[in-house]
């Protein structure tokens, strides 16, 4: 026998599970059943696809039994099983990187939002909420040796050689006081129906009952009972007409490891040249790993009811990575490898039809239920925007689906709604980019638009900088960034030639004082209250994009200079025309530039210099 220590993260996870999921401790059964079903899936897949396993013929079996007298609950499967190395790897460490990351994020974040833990499969370790000790007797398919793993979940576990008939795994829980309530046939049956009804394999419950005679008296003997307790049907294969909302919700909770009902689902059976069934769900909350490169994909691939993979990021494009569900193909080969999947014609067809389906259902929701779609946008608008640059073929639909905050409406607004509110003669859709909604709402760049009653979209996601210019147009309307030089051309009618002439010398002096800090100094037609603002040249990257590029270490050649625009009606600027003192002109010039940068949320090159100039101006 050898004794091992749990990896530190396992102890951490155990603590977390016990503290945050205790009131849901019944989920331990769902987790064990799901492991058993996965193990059978894996073996079925191997026996169908791998020569070495061709001879393993087996009838899938998941059996739950219990014995109230000894206080034990047993869950047995004849799936793939584990050898000694698998046991150490799987039940002594946390193999899944997503879980590990989650734990370290939790450790750093003192708020410890443990509700998040409900978002992913806590798995095997949930057993320790109901059991004092857990033992795992297991034998791997194709191997002779069997192993017994035991642990009380308090830091260490033991592994020793054992004997087992045939491949598979038997997990035995010695229940603690809180676990004893589950040693009852009706309770277990209830739990299986609640959480595991649509596990594709039969789940049998076996137990012994007191035997009664005709007169209703105990005979003193025991009677063995054995019943199948789930429907054992892949839900997605059933007809929509037979399925109730509750069935979908329950199934979703199973496939997504989530406790919350989904926002939306779409169930499709495609018949014809390519046959497949898909069942997709849109969660009501964004998964915690939505913005992590190592996110866990949410769609499982089956081929003719045989589970193939739940770890394939290419089943749907990355911008739809929040979608959960199942694709079950009739046409793919069982031994489909990752490489094949990526180039396979059948898979490509399924993928593109699935994307179209998801997008059209979302469009439908948007048209039908504004409020619910708003809830969707709150969670998933940002990933959808990624589609604007990665999915050219669906760009038009995506343009209808993405939402914006705006100066012209509360909440989220669509481009179609913006268009319907446009002023007569307005030729473009205006937007401003920046790093925060509140800052944008106060930006001096919007002054003229506000005055003229022209609506501006507020874009404060990092990716807006990349995707909106790339999208370029909505129908025949150009999308114009107001923080770019030239966007105000439409309003040039208001330009005052005489003022331009009067102020030309002042502009020249500001420009001379600022030197190579700016690309140009111009008289602005977009300011009314503020003295200055900065814009970037029509084809230069914006300030935010420059900062973003720097933050990811790509600073080369990115230091583009801004254009300073000044408000000729503002006394700070107009007074310069008659100012004799060159050093005062320089102070004003730098303050005009620096305050415009501050309002933009851009860093100052020399804050001390700004303060000194400011103080000099105030002191006069
Ligand atoms: P998860 O199932 O989410 O990966 P668990 O902690 O439940 O996490 O299980 C860890 C690993 O242990 C599984 O990924 C699997 O490799 C292995 N395992 C658990 N239960 C079984 C079982 N009944 N048969 C075979 N392997 C199992």
As separate numbers, helices (DSSP H) first and strands (DSSP E) second, the chain gives 19, 23
Q: Is 356 helix (H, G, I), strand (E, B) or coil?
A: helix
Q: Give how far Cα 127 sits from Cα of 31, 298, 434, 570, Å.
A: 8, 25, 48, 71
Q: Is any atom of ligand 1 closer than 6 Å to the C-beta of 82?
A: yes
Residue 77 Cα: closest atom of ligand 1: 23
Report residue 516: phi and psi, to 5°.
Answer: -85, 15
Q: Is any atom of ligand 1 closer than 6 Å to the C-beta of 36?
A: yes
Using alpha carbons only, give the angle 605, 611, 615 rounded to the nearest 5 degrees. Answer: 155
Using alpha carbons only, give the angle 160, 166, 167 rounded to the nearest 5 degrees. Answer: 75
Q: What is the pLDDT of residue 279?
A: 97
Could you tell me the two tokens for 154? 């308090």
Q: Are strands 264-270 and 276-282 parallel, antiparallel or unpaired?
A: antiparallel
How far apart CA 88 and CA 284 sit, in angstroms, is 36
Three state DSSP letters for 517-548: HCCEEEECCCCCCCCEEEEECCCCCCHHHHHH
Whether the pTM exceeds 0.75: the reply is no
Q: Is any atom of ligand 1 closer than 6 Å to the C-beta of 27?
A: no
How far apart CA 305 and CA 233 sit, in angstroms, is 10
Q: Is 580 helix (H, G, I), strand (E, B) or coil?
A: coil
Q: Report whether CATH 3.30.565.10 matches the domain 2-228.
A: yes
Q: What is the pLDDT of residue 123?
A: 80
Could you tell me the two tokens for 594? 């620096």
Are residues 532 and 593 in contact, defined by beta-carbon separation less than 8 angstroms? yes
Q: Is any atom of ligand 1 closer than 6 Å to the C-beta of 93?
A: no
- Cα of 310 from ligand 1 centre, angstroms: 14
CA-nearest residue, atom 11 of ligand 1: 90
Which of 35, 64, 139, 148 to mutate for ligand 1's pocket (most ligand atoms within 8 Å of CB)? 35
How far apart CA 489 and CA 336 sit, in angstroms, is 57
- Cα of 90 from ligand 1 centre, angstroms: 6
In terms of C-beta density within 10 A (0-12 exposed, 13-18 middle, 19 or more buried), how is residue 170 classed? buried
CA-CA-CA-CA dihedral for 382, 388, 391, 397, to nearest 10: 100
- Cα of 125 from ligand 1 centre, angstroms: 10
- Cα of 199 from ligand 1 centre, angstroms: 16
Q: What is the pLDDT of residue 308?
A: 79
Q: Is any atom of ligand 1 closer than 6 Å to the C-beta of 124?
A: yes
* CATH C-level class of 235-367: alpha beta
Q: What is the pLDDT of residue 102?
A: 67
Tally Cβ neighbours within 10 Å of residue 88: 17
Q: Is any atom of ligand 1 closer than 6 Å to the C-beta of 33?
A: no
Positions of the chain with pLDDT under 50: 111
CA 323 to chain centre: 9
DSSP β-bridge partners for residue 481? 431
Residue-wise pLDDT tens digits, 183-225: 999 999 999 987 788 788 999 999 999 999 999 999 999 999 9
Could you tell me the two tokens for 524? 């602005």
Give the CATH fold of the 493-619 domain.
1.20.120
CA-nearest residue, atom 13 of ligand 1: 90
Which segments of 68-118 are extended strands (E)?
72-77
- Cα of 620 from ligand 1 centre, angstroms: 75
DSSP assigned state of 198: T
Domain boundaries, the chain: 2-228, 235-367, 399-490, 493-619
Residue-wise pLDDT tens digits, 286-328: 988 888 888 889 999 988 877 778 888 889 999 999 999 999 9
Residue 34 Cα: closest atom of ligand 1: 2
Q: What is the pLDDT of residue 115?
A: 55
Q: What is the pLDDT of residue 539?
A: 77
Q: Give how far Cα 195 sits from Cα of 75, 206, 252, Å.
A: 15, 18, 10
What per-residue string of b and e applies to 102-114 under the rule 16 or more CB within 10 Å gives b? bbeebeeeeeeee
Residue 42 Cα: closest atom of ligand 1: 25
Give the CATH fold of the 399-490 domain.
Rossmann fold (3.40.50)
Helix (H) or strand (E) holding 382: helix 370-390
CA-based radius of gyration for the chain: 32
Q: Is any atom of ligand 1 closer than 6 Å to the C-beta of 79?
A: yes
DSSP β-bridge partners for residue 131? 175
How far apart CA 176 and CA 72 sit, in angstroms, is 9
């Amino acid at each position: 026998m050898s004794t091992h220590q749990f990896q530190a993260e396992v102890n951490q996870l155990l603590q977390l599970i016990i503290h945050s999921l205790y009131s849901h401790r019944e989920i331990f059964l769902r987790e064990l059943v799901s492991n058993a079903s996965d193990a059978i899936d894996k073996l079925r897949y191997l026996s169908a696809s791998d020569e070495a396993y061709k001879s393993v013929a087996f009838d899938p079996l998941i059996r739950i039994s219990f014995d109230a007298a000894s206080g034990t609950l047993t869950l047995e499967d004849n799936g793939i099983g584990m050898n000694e190395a698998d046991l150490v790897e799987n039940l002594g460490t946390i193999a899944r990187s997503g879980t590990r990351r989650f734990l370290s994020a939790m450790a750093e974040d003192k708020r410890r939002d443990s509700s998040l833990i409900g978002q992913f499969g806590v798995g095997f370790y949930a057993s320790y909420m109901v059991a004092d000790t857990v033992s795992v007797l297991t034998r791997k398919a194709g191997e002779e040796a069997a192993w017994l793993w035991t642990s009380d979940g308090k830091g260490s576990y033991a592994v020793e050689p054992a004997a087992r008939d045939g491949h598979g795994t038997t997990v035995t829980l010695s229940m603690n006081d809180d676990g004893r309530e589950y040693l009852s046939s009706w309770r277990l049956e209830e739990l299986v129906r609640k959480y595991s009804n649509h596990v594709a394999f039969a789940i049998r419950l076996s137990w012994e009952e007191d035997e009664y005679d005709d007169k209703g008296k105990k005979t003193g003997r025991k009677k063995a009972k054995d019943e199948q307790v789930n429907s054992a049907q892949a839900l997605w294969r059933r007809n929509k007409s037979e399925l109730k909302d509750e069935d979908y919700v329950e199934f979703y909770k199973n496939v997504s490891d989530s406790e919350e009902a989904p926002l939306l689902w779409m169930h499709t059976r495609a018949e014809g040249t390519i046959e497949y069934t898909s069942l997709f769900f849109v969660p009501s909350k964004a998964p915690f790993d939505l913005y992590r490169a190592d996110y866990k994909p949410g769609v499982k691939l089956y081929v003719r009811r045989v589970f193939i993979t739940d770890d394939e990021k290419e089943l749907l494009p990355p911008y739809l990575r929040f979608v959960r569900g199942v694709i079950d193909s009739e046409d793919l080969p069982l031994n489909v490898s990752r490489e094949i999947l990526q180039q396979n014609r059948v898979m490509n067809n399924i993928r593109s039809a699935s994307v179209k389906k998801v997008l059209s259902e979302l469009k439908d929701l948007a048209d039908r239920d504004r409020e619910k779609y708003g809830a969707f946008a709150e969670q998933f608008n940002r990933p959808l925007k990624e589609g604007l640059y990665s999915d050219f073929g669906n760009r038009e639909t995506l343009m209808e689906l993405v939402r914006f905050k705006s100066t012209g409406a509360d909440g989220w607004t669509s481009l179609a709604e913006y268009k319907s509110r446009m002023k007569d003669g307005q030729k473009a859709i205006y937007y401003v980019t920046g790093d925060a909604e509140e800052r944008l709402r106060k930006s001096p760049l919007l002054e003229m638009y506000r005055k003229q009653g022209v609506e501006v979209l507020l874009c404060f996601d990092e990716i807006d900088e990349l995707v909106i210019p790339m999208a370029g147009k909505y129908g025949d309307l150009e999308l114009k960034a107001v923080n770019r030089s030239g966007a105000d051309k439409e309003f040039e009618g208001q330009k005052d030639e005489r003022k331009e002439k009067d102020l030309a010398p002042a502009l020249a002096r500001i420009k001379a004082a600022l030197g190579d800090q700016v690309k140009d100094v111009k008289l602005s037609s977009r300011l009314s209250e503020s003295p200055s603002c900065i814009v970037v040249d029509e084809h230069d990257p914006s300030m935010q994009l420059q900062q973003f590029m720097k933050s990811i270490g790509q600073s080369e050649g990115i230091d583009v200079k801004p254009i300073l625009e000044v408000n000729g009606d503002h006394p700070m600027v107009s007074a310069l025309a008659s100012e004799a003192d060159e050093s005062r002109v320089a102070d004003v010039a730098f303050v005009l530039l620096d305050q415009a940068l501050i309002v933009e949320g851009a860093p100052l090159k020399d804050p001390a210099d700004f303060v000194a100039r400011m103080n000099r101006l105030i002191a006069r």
